[in-house]
Amino acid sequence: MLSSNKIGVDAGGTLIKIAYMQDGVLQFEKVPAAEIAQAAKRLRDRFPDADICATGGKSALLQSHLQRPIRSMVEFDATCKGAKFLMERQGIFPDSFVLTNVGTGTSVHYVEKDRHLRVGGIGVGGGTLMGLSYLLTGIRDYEEIIRMSRLGNRKHIDLKVSDIYEGTEPPIPGDLTASNFGKALGLQTGREPEDMLASVIGLVGETITTISVQAAAQSGTSSIVYIGSSFIENDVLENTVANYTRLRGCEPTVLKDGHYSGALGALLS
């Protein structure tokens, strides 16, 4: 099914993801979307005769840089196809599930065996993580943001239900966030960048979980599969999303290599 002279490309708003087969082994690569011209040149040089199938918002731009015709695929079809392939390989077989793609923005799908449907989306996603982190701390490097967020503590910035119900029994779990950044106005001491970054990831994670859980309830499933490059090496986001999804009564999977779903779907087409 996978031919070695075929390449799947998912040219997204932030990252270009590439999937191809080499010596029978599936290979993945990613490059910043800002370097799309160089990426196209490298693809042309390395794979002069390959059949390229592209998806994602920047696939037309990629084609113009490649200067040769390529096939294109609807992004949501590619993403769902690739995600299903990865899930099967990893032994994950829900009958139906919500697929939440946390890319630059976030897109939510309902997937059944032979059918998928986009059920929503939200502008809060990986781009929000990067943008808010930058505005608050001046840091723009993804890996540095993630590394520092691990050292942060949200309790200085986020208001919990238990903070409001001081000393009394709250009607909902006290550990839930009552207000993301709700303590910021009362900050007495330093605004540690680590704490702010942890809170930014908390905001993004809780928001995407909330819309995913609501989509799951509406669709009559309790399985939620999370993909997208925002989860790369990002254990703070992964843990926030996984724990909060469970607390809301759904079963989370943060899919390994999930950020290559679109490229893989294009490769498989």
Residues that are catalytic: 75
Angle of helix 36-46 versus helix 59-66 axis, rounded to 10: 60
Q: Which residues bind ligand ADP (CB under 6 A)?
A: 12-15, 33, 56, 103-104, 126-127, 129-130, 142, 228-230, 232, 259
Stretch that binds Mg ion, among 38-46, 58-66, 100-108, 215-223 (CB under 5 A): 100-108
Nearest distance, CB of residue 56 and Mg ion, angstroms = 6
Stretch that binds Mg ion, among 102-110, 137-145, 148-156, 172-180 (CB under 5 A): 102-110
How far apart CA 151 and CA 223 sit, in angstroms, is 30
Cβ nearer to ligand ADP, comparing 228 with 265 = 228
Closest by CA to 207, choosing from 184, 191, 230, is: 230
Asked if 103 touches Mg ion (CB under 5 A), the answer is yes
List 7, 8, 9, 12, residue binding Mg ion (CB under 5 A): 12
Nearest distance, CB of residue 268 and Mg ion, angstroms = 17
Cβ nearer to Mg ion, comparing 8 with 103 = 103
Q: Which residues pair with 242 in a beta bridge?
A: none
Nearest distance, CB of residue 39 and ligand ADP, angstroms = 13
Dihedral, 34, 37, 38, 41 alpha carbons, nearest 10: 150
What are the residue ranges of helices labelled H in 113-170?
126-137, 142-149, 161-164
Closest CB to ligand ADP: residue number: 12
Question: Quick one: DSSP state of residue 114?
Answer: T
CA distances from 113 to 41, 80, 85, 117, 255 (A): 38, 11, 12, 12, 18
Cβ nearer to ligand ADP, comparing 70 with 227 = 227
Q: Interface with Mg ion by CB under 5 A: which residues? A: 12, 103
